[in-house]
Structure 1
Amino acid sequence: MSRFIAAIEIDGAGGDPGAWRGPEVDPRAILTGELAVRAAQRAEAAGVDLVTFADALEAPADVPDRVSVRLDALGLAARVAPVTQRIGLLPTITVTHTEPFHVQASVATLDHISGGRAGWIADVSTSAEAAAVIGRREPAPAAETWREARYVVDAGRRLWDSWEDDAIIRDAATGRFVDREKLHYVDFASPTFSVKGPSIVPRPPQGHPITAIRVTVPEALEAAADAELVFLPDSGELSVQVRALRSGSESAADRRSVTLTAGDGRRSVGLTPDRDPRGPIVLVSVEVRPHADGVGRLLESVERWVEAGVDGVQLRPASLELDVPVIAEQLLPVLRERGLVGSGERGGSLRGRLGLRRPVNRYARSTR
């Protein structure tokens, strides 16, 4: 893609666990969602393309001087949707202990209430803590949970297609709300779950809301082949990873494996050959504190990331109240002058904003 995509993550008062203690922060605004609303509106006005919402099944550690609660990402995105007009909204949803049918219905609902600006970040859980809280299954290793996540993504897209776009007829004369011929069973089965369908929510405005994967462990890299948007960590191998994600049309030798640098070390992982040859949109994900460090070094990093071939950046501010204004007022104007980011007035669906076409419904008949 030619235009650099800008994203900001919302996580409590910011990525710094102590951000909520700053004199500029009203801690109550974290739990009412007002802090998130203010950050999203500032980002939208500056021309940021999308905001992501951090989440996890595990509760934050109950440590003195830290906020030990976190708002549900999907609920927070729904809170932000009615008070924004253009910015994309991607909550993190952990699929390991969550019913796939409810996941897709929730994301579809967010797409409806936001007017076609929704997506989601599929995540997994391997912890015994989450398994004990939910109580449905034993914890599983990362390879197993990420393999299941790919099935969840596939099932979700099929369920979004289970309603044809014109299935709703609202015929008052006959009392018919939907055309039953335009609702479809998906009859999806995986090793761990099955879904009959159809969905309980009409097809989303975008057809398929954007599916994203954040790569933090090697096992997530294979699942990223099924995503439309991928967040990669910054590392010396960033350009290699980007090329690997886009190597679907290259020889098998070129795409055989790639080394991922993540929190748990280095590991060579295989990449799937049967993906879209164009590859996903790739953003580098970085923690930033421009209120303290300035934007000069960040601008230098952007130049390096562009050379590495990424499509944009996901900035994870240390403090929403301190860093987002600096990003909006100092970083984005420079990126706009360089022709990288678009106007703050840019609207439309999130798919359109990212340059992605609306998917054709796989169940719709080609002729009437």
Structure 2
Amino acid sequence: MTSRSLHVAAELDGELSPGALAGIVATAERAGFTFATFDDSPLPPPGGPRLDATARAAYVATLTDRLGLAPASNVTTAEPFHLAAQLASLDHASHGRAAWVVGADGSAEALATVGGSRLDPDALHHEVADVVGVVRKLWDSWEDDAVIKDVATGRYLDPDKVHHVDFTGTRFSVKGPLITPRPPQGRPVVLASDALAEAARPDIVLVGGAGLDDVRNRAARARETGAPLVFAEVEVQLGDAGRRTHHDRLRYTGSALGLTELLGWLATSVDGVRLHLADQAADLPALAGEVLPALRSEGLLIPPRPGDTLRASLGLPRAESVFA
């Protein structure tokens, strides 16, 4: 990558009241973040049950007009048909700003929540490929102009433009078209880690690393495999040193100025970053008030525009249907 421009995304904490969640999402949108992600897990969080990530994203969809909304969902515990319908509905509700962070927890604990058992790495790889592939076909099952709403004839849709998706895999089967018309983006944006990229073929590959060189090397390998966009995973704590929460992310602890410099360096190697905040209440205002304005003044930040789809904000083309 030779251009110096950057999309900035943030993981937003889900253990908040609806009002607090709406507030931090509004802060992220005003600041110029391209999208927000919402983490999830098949297992209940330490603080007790919470709304799943897709429901949290749907809640803030009507409160925003340009921020992309990317809930995580686990392929091993989610029903692919329902997952496709939920994400298509989120894309409609947000007027084309939906995305999906592909989760793949194959542990015995996660699979026990749906009466299954642990998946070995090969089986997990196939499950990711099957689920993501079927979800994409379900999004395509309605062509763009399938809905005609012809009042004179009483016809709502053209049945020749609604296609059946018949799939039988190792652990699930899907039959029939989706119950939701084709999403505004054609297909919501798909994000996955570089460990899952071969199976998921995502629009955005997420890469971590122990240091800048590691991130750059993994980003280069992701580009060699044809990744449309590559984002770096960065843990951020603006202030005193804190505990590392994930071993496979670039970690930054320090001032807002230092973080701005780090993101400028990363802009030469990746298309964007996803920031994981150690203290959301303290770090998000600093990002919104100092870091992102500094990036914008340097011409590095690519903020989304009101009314744009997430694909348009990211510079990705609208996805074509395999049935078109």
- Same fold by TM (over 0.5)? yes
CA distance in 2, matches of 1:85, 1:325: 20
1:1-368 counterparts in 2 under 5 A? 2=3, 3-12=5-14, 30=16, 32-61=17-46, 67-135=47-115, 137-215=116-194, 219-223=195-199, 226-236=201-211, 237-248=214-225, 277=226, 279-290=227-238, 293-307=254-268, 309-343=269-303, 345=305, 347-364=307-324
TM-aligned CA deviation for residue 124 of structure 1: 1.3
Are residues 108 and 94 of structure 1, via their aligned partners in 2, closer, same or farther at CA, if it must alter by over 3 Å? same
Q: CA deviation at 1:104?
A: 0.8
- Report how many aligned residue pairs link the two structures: 307
- What is the TM-score normalised by the length of structure 2? 0.89
Question: What is the one-letter code of the residue matched to 1:244?
Answer: R
Once the 2 structures are TM-superposed, how far is the Cα of residue 35 of structure 1 from its aligned partner?
2.1
Find runs of 4+ consecutive structure 1 residues off by over 4 angstroms.
343-347
Residues 101-139 of structure 1 deviation map (CA, whole Å, 9 limit, x = unaligned): 11111110000000000010111122222222222x222
> For residue 301 of structure 2, what is the amino acid of its counterpart?
V
Contact in 2 for aligned 1:213/1:223 (Cα 8 Å)? no
Q: Which residue of 2 aligns with 1:64?
A: none
Give, in whole Å, the separation in 1 of the partners of 2:167 and 2:298: 47
* 1:245/1:280 contact within 8 Å kept: no
Deviation per residue, 1:228-262 (Å, 9 max, x gap): 012211334211111111113xxxxxxxxxxxxxx
Q: CA RMSD, aligned part only?
A: 1.9
Query: Where in structure 1 are there 5+ consecutive unaligned residues?
Result: 14-29, 62-66, 249-276
Deviation at 1:345, TM superposition (A): 4.3
- Whether the aligned pair in 2 keeps the contact of 1:291 and 1:322 (CA below 8 Å) is no
Secondary structure at the counterpart of residue 134 of structure 1: coil
Q: Flag structure 2 segments of 5+ consecutive residues without an equivalent.
A: 241-253
Amino acid corresponding to residue 197 of structure 1 in structure 2: G
| 8 Å contact kept, 1:89–1:119 | yes
What is the CA-CA distance between 1:344 and the residue it aligns to?
6.1
Q: Are the aligned partners of 1:111 and 1:118 in contact in 2 as well (CA < 8 Å)?
A: yes
Q: Greater CA radius of gyration, 1 or 2?
A: 1
Q: CA deviation at 1:287?
A: 1.6
More deviation in 294-303 or 322-331? 294-303
- 1:285 and 1:315 in contact (8 A); partners too: yes
1:246 match: secondary structure: helix
Q: Is the 8 A contact 2:144 2:182 kept in 1?
A: yes
The alpha carbon displacement at 1:343 in A equals: 4.2
- The 1:196/1:176 distance shift into structure 2, 3 A limit, reads same
Residue identity in the other structure for 2:223: R
Structure 2 counterpart of 1:328, one-letter code: A
- Which position in structure 1 is the counterpart of 2:247? none
CA distance in 2, matches of 1:285, 1:71: 24
TM-score w.r.t. the length of structure 1 is: 0.79
In percent, how many aligned pairs have the same letter? Answer: 40
Q: Is the 8 A contact 1:47 1:346 kept in 2?
A: no
Secondary structure of the residue aligned to 2:51 is coil
Identify if the C-alpha distance between structure 1 residues 53 and 305 changes in structure 2 by more than 3 Å, giving closer, same or farther: same
> Within 1, Cα distance between the matches of 2:45 and 2:228?
31
